[in-house]
Amino acid sequence: MSTNEYKTFFSEGQCKFRCNSTMFTPKGRPNAGMRYQLTEIREHLACPHCGAVTYIHEYKERVVHSGVYLGVPVYYGMRVIRYECSVCGAAFMADYDYLPFWRTITNETEDYIIWPLGCKTFSAIAEETGLSVQTISRRAAAFADEEQKVMLACRCKYLSMDEVYIGRDKKKEHVIY
């Protein structure tokens, strides 16, 4: 993940990709959404295994869900470069801080899924984001597991008590033993 918590998919991606808007369909129409085509800018990367010069092996197509804008889902079609080392033959792709390896959902979209969970149904969130209900439910379950681990790690191990609340007396004052 990114070391800067304020970096987003859009802000970090501007220096790595060329962006072309391919389609916008407003809310209420079939296949509503915004679609962009991102093309990775070629960099001369060194092989992570041996440090030798690499060349382009092939291009891979990915579709990344990037949240909601004006009530419609935003999709980025990414054409990423797969490199191959000329010495050791290792094939790899560039890592991006703002997009976990082989994820199709940006961190902003995950946040958008999590925050309205108490107010909206899974199907309403799925309709807004263009994701499946199963994806929403899996992300909600993963978030619940993460939060449960955090809460159980903070729990007290010992409980000691030196005062006991008895109740109120006839004068309606608190009685503590």
pTM of this structure = 0.58
Going from N- to C-terminal start, the domains of the chain cover 9-176
Is pLDDT larger for residue 47 or for residue 31? 47
If pLDDT is split at 50, 70 and 90, which confidence band does 134 have?
A: very high
Q: Which tens digits make up the pLDDT trace of 51-73?
A: 888 888 888 888 888 778 777 88
Tokens of 173: 């004052």
pLDDT confidence of residue 2: 44
Which burial class, exposed, middle or buried, applies to 175 when counting CB atoms under 10 A from its CB (0-12, 13-18, 19+)?
exposed
Check: CB of residue 29 under 8 Å from CB of residue 45: no
Residue from 3, 170, 132 nearest 140 by CA:
132
